[in-house]
Amino acid sequence: MTLTNTPSHKPFVLKVGSQTLTFGSGPLIMGVLNVTPDSFSDGGAFLTVDQAVSHAKQMEDEGADIIDLGAESSRPGAQPIDEHEELSRLMPVLDAVRQAVSLPLSVDTTKAAVARRAIQAGASIVNDISALRGDSLMAGLVAEAGVAVVLMHMQGTPRTMQRAPHYGNVVDEVCAFLRERIQAALGAGIQASQIILDPGFGFGKLQEHNLRLLAEFDLFTRLGHPVLVGVSRKQFIGNLVDRPVHERGYGTAGAIAVAVLKGAHILRVHDVRAMKDTASVVSAISRHGRSSVEVPNA
């Protein structure tokens, strides 16, 4: 009998504006920079421009490949903010970070007007938790600008998503949703080389849903596009290790290790150095393994 575990390690080349990112020997690290007062992990920690720039430079020094800036919290129960408030938080920081670091910048927003301003200021990835459903102008903007886009699965909205999430088969349903959003993006003129997928850990998912998504993560890598994993410090990890948000590093590393073994292409994390080291070790081990293991018949 032959047992196989062969997630897709297709050598994707991702178009991010005028740059390209190539996935080689291991996943890319996307460092999180929230300029919000109420994000679940680091809300309020980087509200000033100086604080945000210092943290961005630290993440670059620690080996980040991308920095993801967000100015509207998407934690469970979060209240939406208007475009003016989001821009007033985001733009001073994004402008300063663009001058301070050389990494590609991602903007975490569902609003086309915010994304447009961010792209004009140098962002080259739009991380859209609504998967282009939140603003009818977003798909056209991404296509026109030639930037990359993250299409994420979410059941409900941040304000409602954890009230009573329900699935028949969470993996099948998330895969079907992502396939549909890929087709919607392509139909809007977005190139295949601009698309990143995200199954949306913690976004309208219960504990068992998150664990199932992670256990079968390799199925998402077979959809034909790079896949991002965002498990850093999340509640389902806290539930497993019984730790508050800032003490979930070891638990996060365990989840990251599984995701890397199952073919994750981008890791969205708060603790850049620790998770980069975790990914580097797991990737090295994975490259030295066999794609199939012969097991004697019983």
Does residue 184 have a pLDDT over 90? yes
For residue 166, give the nearest of 206, 213, 135 by alpha carbon. 206
> Where are the domains positioned within the chain?
22-72+84-284
Within 10 A of 144 (CB to CB), how many other CB atoms are there?
Answer: 13
pLDDT at 15: 80
Q: Residue 138 CA to chain centroid, in angstroms? A: 18
Q: How confident is the model at residue 12 (pLDDT cuts 50, 70, 90)?
A: confident
Q: Is 234 a catalytic residue?
A: yes
Residues 6 or more apart whose CB falls under 8 angstroms from that of 107 comprise 68, 69, 70, 90, 94, 114, 115, 118, 119, 123, 125, 126, 127
Closest CA to 218 of 272, 258, 266: 258
Compute the mean pLDDT over every residue in the chain, rounded to the nearest whole number: 88
Residue range 248-257: average pLDDT? 97
Give the predicted TM-score (pTM) of the model: 0.89
Asked if residue 78 has pLDDT above 50, the reply is yes
pLDDT one-digit tens code per residue, 220-239: 999 999 999 999 999 999 99
The kind and range of the H/E element at 85 are helix 83-100
Share of the chain above pLDDT 90, in %: 73
How far apart are the C-alpha atoms of 63 and 79, rounded to whole Å?
Answer: 33
Specify the amino acid at residue 110: T
Residue 249: what pLDDT? 96
According to CATH, what is the number of the domain 22-72+84-284?
Answer: 3.20.20.20
Written in H, E and C, the secondary structure of 146-215 is CCEEEEECCCCCCCCCCCCCCCCCHHHHHHHHHHHHHHHHHHCCCCHHHEEEECCCCCCCCHHHHHHHHH
pLDDT per residue as tens digits for the range 114-124: 999 999 999 99
Does residue 7 have a pLDDT over 90?
no
Cα angle: 125, vertex 278, 237; to 5 degrees: 80
Out of 89, 205, 234, 262, the active site residue is 234
Predicted confidence at residue 80, as pLDDT, reads 81
- Decide if 15 is catalytic: no
First to last CA, the chain: 9
Q: Which helix (H) or strand (E) holds 66?
A: strand 66-70
**Residue 4 has what pLDDT?**
34
Question: What's the Cα-to-Cα distance from 159 to each of 20, 41, 75, 162, 203, rounded to whole Å?
Answer: 35, 17, 8, 8, 10
Among 181, 248, 268, 276, the active-site one is 268
pLDDT, average across residues 247-251? 96
Whole-angstrom distance, CA of residue 46 vs CA of residue 54: 9
Q: What is the mean pLDDT of residues 270-284?
A: 96
> pLDDT tens-digit profile of 30-53?
999 998 875 444 444 566 899 899
The pLDDT tens digits of the residues spanning 126-178 come to: 999 999 999 999 999 999 999 999 999 998 777 776 777 889 999 999 999 99
**How much is the average pLDDT of 264-290?**
93
User: What's the pLDDT at 13?
Assistant: 80
